[in-house]
Every structure is written in C-alpha cells, then in structure tokens.
Amino acid sequence: MTTPSAPPPTSDQVTDYYSALGPLLRMAWGDNLHFGYWEGPGDGSSPQEATDRFTDLLVSRLGVGAGDVVLDAGCGIGSPALRLASLTGARVVGITISPQQVEQARELAREAGMAERVEFRYADAMDTPFEAESFDAVLAFESIVHMERPTALREMARVLKPGGRLVLTDTFPPDGGSQERDLSGDVASMARLEEYPDLIAGAGLALDELTDVTDHTKFTFTRVIDGILRCRRDFEREHGISVEEVLDTLKPAHPQVSALGGAPQVGCLVAVAHKPSAAEAASSAR
C-alpha cells in the first residue's frame, strides 16, 4: 500500500520556494541543495564536504562512465550534475521546474567549462520530453519530495534503458510517524520507508538497495541553522532583508520550521533500482 498523497506543487510554487530560500541557502550551505552526509557526531566536515560526500556516494551507485548519458531529475542549481560529470566522464542532462535554477545551473556549467557535457533545461520530471529508453541512468537527489511519487517513478523508468540504474534519495518520518507529522506543506511531502519496495516495483523497476542513512544525515538541520547564524550579518547587508523575513516566507511550506528555533528530525533513505532487461523481466515473470 502506498500512502495517498496531496497533489504535487505547481512549477510556480517550487520556483517561488527556491527563489525565496535560494540566496540564503547558497550563502549558509553552498550550491548543493541537499542533506550532508557525516560519518558521525564527531565528524567536523563542512557543509560543502558533507554534501559533496553524499553526491559521491550516489554517483558511485549510478555505475556510469564516459559514453553514458545520465538524467538528473530535479537538478537544483546544477552542482551535483557537474560533480557527477567530472567524476565519471558521463554526459548529464539536468532538469528542474524552476526557470531561475536553469539559468543559475547553466551559469555554473559555463564557469566550470563543462557546458558541452552538462546541459540544463526546464522540464517536469513527471512528464519529460525525452524518448523512452534514452538514458543510461537516472539520478533524483532529494527532488522526489516535490513530486507525486508513483508518477515520477514511472516516468523515470520509461526514460531508462533496460539495465540502467535509478538512484534516488527521499525523506520519511524517522520514527515511523504518520503523514500528519511530516514536513509537508505546500511544496514537499515525505514518503514512508516501508512503502518503497512497492513504489519501485509499481514503476516496473527492480529494487537493488534501500538504505536508511538518517544516522549520517540527521545533523543537517542544526548545521544549516549554524550556517545561517554565521552568515546572517553578511546576508542581511547584501540583500537588505532579515533572515527572519526569509524564513517567514517559508512557513507555509515548512510549518514546523519556526524561524531559527527547533530543527525537525527527518529520516533520509537511499534507493537504488534498475530497469530489468527483457530477459530478466521474462525470467522473473515465469
């Protein structure tokens, strides 16, 4: 059984959310719009190191190299896609439903001299313009939280070549709590860890790995707040708006995030799946 979910946010809601949060997040956290991955409480890695480490962990699971083409579904401002391309030699197509992010990501690709190999475009990951079986792998890094999961997974499965891998992260209530206790406002919702095997199978994919990485990612919220407090003077000087005002604009999206107060606990999972080849699908149907 999958949990019934609210309709996914519109492109405008996602764009507004990231344009309200983006400048503060970039200053306080960096260009990776995802959780950090720490070895444990004593790990003093910076946000940049911890978020890059999480990217590397997912890249290692994609199993791609030069000659492969990867879809980054929900690419943010492109930092993970650029890292993926430079680590593996693969080509990457990053998509987002925020036109602003497309521009920012293209700018980062140009600055990195990688615009030839890493392309960014506006597209909805639940209904992409790509032909079936056009990608060797798909990455969805903390983006499915904004989507209707079964629809998004079916679309990712459609564009994957047989044998190709899907690697994603998602959030869930760490204590197995109910939907009411999740972070979902208008723009994001959590999944349930237990529903993942069915979600993946429902999209016609074979689940290879489902890992709860919360013990590594749970430091994220407090470190984001530390980052915000560290940069608040510079931010307020540069943008002429207080940090509280920015956080207030996010309240409808994250009702539990009270300004600089309590940090919510959110579980994080990594799922790795592949699209069965015709032979594999036939033998498992037997």
- Residues near ligand SAH (CB under 6 A) are 14, 18, 32-34, 73-76, 79-80, 95-98, 101, 124-126, 141-143, 146-147
Residue 28 Cβ vs ligand SAH, minimum distance, rounded to whole Å: 14
Residue 123 Cβ vs ligand SAH, minimum distance, rounded to whole Å: 6
| Closest listed residue to residue 58, CA positions, set 70, 68, 41 | 70
Q: In what side-by-side order are the strands of the sheet with 267-274?
A: 118-122, 91-96, 69-73, 135-140, 160-172, 267-274, 206-212
Comparing CB distances to ligand SAH, the nearer of 105 and 205 is 105
Comparing CB distances to ligand SAH, the nearer of 68 and 124 is 124
Name residues whose C-beta falls within 8 Å of residue 143's C-beta, 6 or more positions apart in sequence.
73, 74, 75, 76, 125, 168
Q: What is the CA radius of gyration of the chain?
A: 18
Q: Largest Cα–Cα distance of the chain, in whole Å?
A: 66
Comparing CB distances to ligand SAH, the nearer of 11 and 211 is 11
The dihedral through the CA atoms of 80, 85, 90, 96 has a sign that is positive
- What's at 183, amino acid-wise? L
Residue 79 Cβ vs ligand SAH, minimum distance, rounded to whole Å: 6
Residue 286 Cβ vs ligand SAH, minimum distance, rounded to whole Å: 36
Residue 265 Cβ vs ligand SAH, minimum distance, rounded to whole Å: 19
User: 189 with 139: CB under 8 angstroms?
Assistant: no
Comparing CB distances to ligand SAH, the nearer of 131 and 175 is 131
Residue 114 Cβ vs ligand SAH, minimum distance, rounded to whole Å: 16
Comparing CB distances to ligand SAH, the nearer of 100 and 236 is 100
Q: What are phi and psi of 284, to 5 degrees?
A: -80, -20
Comparing CB distances to ligand SAH, the nearer of 108 and 276 is 108
